[in-house]
Amino acid sequence: MLTVPMAIYWLAAIWALSRKGVGPMLYVLMMSIPFGALAVIPPTMTGGMSLLATSISAVLLFAKVVLREGTYERVLANALSFRRMGLLTLFLIVTIVVTLVAPRLFAGAVRIVPYVWTHYGSLAIGWLYPSSQNISQLLYLCISVFAVFIFVEVLRQAPLRQTFLKAMFWGGVTMLVTGVVDVAGGGAILETARTASYDYLIGAEVAGVKRITGAMSEASSFGEATLFFGSSIWFLRHAMQDAKMRTRWAPLVAVALILFSFSSTSSAAYVGCGLFGILAMLDWGVRAGGLLGRKAGAPIPLEALVAAVTIAAAFAVLAFTPAILNPLIELIDEMVFSKTTSWSFIERSHWTNKSLEAFFATWGMGVGAGSTLSSNWFVAVLASTGVFGTAALFGFFAQMFTRRGVTDEAAVIAHAVRMIFLPWFGVSLLIGTIPDFGIKLSALFGLTLAVTMRSRTTPEGVPRFASAGIRGEETARF
């Protein structure tokens, strides 16, 4: 059945496709991320496969970009270059081969945690056999990889990078709105946006506190998404040209998102928020040292003053009303320190252990995407794609971490993506169930590559974007 959110999405997508340029589609894509359980085609029409709004938006963006003259050749050249995205392409090829071969080669010989039987509170174990989940999860992974290729092409153009940053900001605002609606008791409204054929965990409580899920499928997904948007807006705001958004609105929205992530009562989100705090302080040091240019270092005194006043006010409140922390201490104790005694921890540890056993049972080949569930993203990648797939993917990550730009903008963006990736990775090690790294990370990788690659038409030593036009017809190279 077509729901109102489905109809709204398709109206927005058709409008974006009808507009000149890809800017509108960037807004549709980023603002669809908060609706992480919105399948825009009824699963009954797709054999149970949930085609999410974000994935469909990435496909539409890909189609619109690739159809432009000359784009296909540039995308292919970047995808095959091991100095750009060759390792990511290799990861995808290995994953496809393993997914098509392993479930047949090891059929009935390897125990796994099956997707179709597993639900919350389950310790299910099954035998490895080919299934429809292999195709669906492989499709999602292909979309994420191809999204990186397209984001590199789109974000080569300086004006579109600003459009992307604004789209990221409004995606974060949308994420906040879903959280506020959930807190305000609008669960019935958000329920209409949960059309995917998922196993939902909605309305749960911890220590008497309702877990916020927004329009996602569970609290941990909401906590991860709000943390991603919060950290992205916080660290990438220094690349924004809009001064009011950069200095006023972006910090406010970023802090609100981090608070909502913490309020999700997800133990993984607590870890991510802690990492974010450490990296934010490290970021102050980097910017104060002038390593990211004058513009990025300018707001530090104001930020330091706001932080000092906030900390002083918090200590003052605690000095007079220390009991105010009791509910928070009880909540953290249950979600963090007593986590190992919870059924959730036992269940997710079971998933991870069985997936790791499956990896060893296949002699490091892996069982293929969509074959087994894990609760640790690294184990999910290892068990699904094997030694070679994991090595290729993490080799690509290492390339992203070591990329440097020759302009202030490129330096700010490359640094910001490193700061954003680490909290995401920390959270994923605790809740990542599938090898797909998702469209959110695809966008950041594409952004990093777009600003750190140099142009063939730009002389060596001259900043690549010093004279880049809106059409961006130059061909990227190293």
Q: What Rg value do the Cα atoms of the chain yield, rounded?
A: 22
- Tokens standing for residue 1: 């059945």
pLDDT score recorded for residue 387? 96
Write down the pLDDT at residue 429: 86
Which residue, among 257, 180, 186, has the nearest Cα to 224 in the 3D structure? 257
Within 10 angstroms of residue 239's Cβ, the number of other Cβ atoms is: 24
Number of H-type helices and E-type strands within the chain:
19, 6
Question: What size, in residues, is the chain?
Answer: 478
And the tokens for 442? 């695809």
Long-range contacts: 304-307, Cβ < 8 Å, 24+? none
List the chain domain ranges.
72-470
Q: Which residues pair with 461 in a beta bridge?
A: none
9/31 Cα distance (integer angstroms): 10
* Residue type, position 172, single letter: G
> How open is the CA angle 287-292-297, to the nearest 5 degrees?
40
Q: What is the model's pLDDT at position 172?
A: 97
Amino acid at 468: A
Q: For position 188, what pLDDT does the model report?
A: 87
The predicted structure's pLDDT at residue 471:
35
pLDDT along the chain (478 residues), means of 10: 84 93 95 94 84 94 80 85 93 96 93 70 77 91 94 92 97 96 88 84 68 87 93 93 90 91 80 88 76 56 64 64 53 52 68 91 94 90 95 95 84 92 89 89 94 58 32 33
List, as one string, the DSSP characters of 373-429: --SSHHHHHHHHHHHHHHHHHHHHHHHHHH---SSHHHHHHHHHHHHHHHHHHHHHH
CA separation for the pair 228, 438 (Å, rounded): 12
d(CA 108, CA 128): 5
**Residue 21: its pLDDT value, please?**
87
Burial of 320 (0-12, 13-18, 19+ CB in 10 A): exposed
pTM, entire model: 0.85
Q: Which of 198, 158, 149, 177 is nearest to 31 (CA)?
A: 177
Strand ranges (DSSP E) for 297-383? none
Q: d(Cα 273, Cα 224) in Å, to the nearest integer?
A: 10
Q: Which residues of 288-319 are buried (b: 16+ CB within 10 A; e: fewer)?
A: eeeebeebbbebeeeeeeeeeeeeeeeeeeee
